[in-house]
Amino acid sequence: MKRKVKVRHWPGRLATGAFILSSGLNKRHADEQTAQTLHGFAGGAYPMLRQLDPKSFVRMVSWGEIALGAALLLPVVPTAVAGLGLTAFSAGLLGLYLRTPGMREEGSLRPTEQGTGLAKDVWMLGMGVGFVVDGLTSKNDDQRERGRARPTAGRTGRARRG
């Protein structure tokens, strides 16, 4: 049976999908200076990224954002799958926030003025995890709604007398 995207998922999928898709489209034609800035920022938090050429790095980020944005916007992609992508993406952004000096107040998770933009990405992490959890647990909910769930042993709805 084909699973349809639930109506309750659409507001979050549309909002995040459009935002991420737009970000990816904007990065497609990044100039050399923008590519070096983004690459340097990411390489500071994730040293293994320093091996990549800045333009190649930004091209990969751009295509990744376009793919994720499209996955969130297209109803053929199950919400749990799109949620996994959103969770990974937002976890990476929050890693930038946590690992980059000057983004947080000393000894705190509270953002500085410079860190507020990245700290706000925590909403995408929450939404992604919510999509995954809902996708993994909604099969049982769907069965209960259709009356197909097996009754649990010992739960008949009335008190037992001993």
Please tell me the total count of domains within the chain. 1
pLDDT in tens, 55-73: 999 999 999 999 999 999 9
Q: The pTM is what?
A: 0.81
pLDDT of residue 150 exceeding 60, the answer is no
Considering the domain boundaries, does residue 121 fall inside one?
yes
Provide the percentage of residues in the chain whose pLDDT is more than 90.
Answer: 75
pLDDT in tens, 25-54: 999 999 999 999 999 999 999 999 999 999
Calpha distance 77→35 (Å, rounded): 30
Considering the domain boundaries, does residue 22 fall inside one?
yes
Q: How far apart are the first and last CA of the chain?
A: 43
Reference 83, options 162, 152, 153, 20; nearest CA is 20
pLDDT at 108: 93
Reference 96, options 42, 52, 60; nearest CA is 42
Calpha distance 120→127 (Å, rounded): 12
pLDDT of residue 16 exceeding 70, the answer is yes
Mean pLDDT check: name the lowest of 75-84, 94-103, 111-120, 134-143: 134-143
pLDDT at 162: 53
Considering the domain boundaries, does residue 96 fall inside one?
yes
Considering the domain boundaries, does residue 150 fall inside one?
no
**Owning domain of residue 138:** 7-144
Considering the domain boundaries, does residue 2 fall inside one?
no
Average pLDDT in the chain: 88
Following DSSP, what letter does each residue of the chain receive, concatenated?
-PPPPPGGGHHHHHHHHHHHHHHHHHHTT--HHHHHHHHHHHHHH-GGGGGS-HHHHHHHHHHHHHHHHHHHH-TTS-HHHHHHHHHHHHHHHHHHHHHSTTSB-TTSSSB-TTTHHHHTTHHHHHHHHHHHHHHHHHHHHHHHHTT-SPPPTT--SS----
Considering the domain boundaries, does residue 157 fall inside one?
no
Considering the domain boundaries, does residue 91 fall inside one?
yes
Q: pLDDT band at 141, cuts 50/70/90?
A: low
Considering the domain boundaries, does residue 1 fall inside one?
no
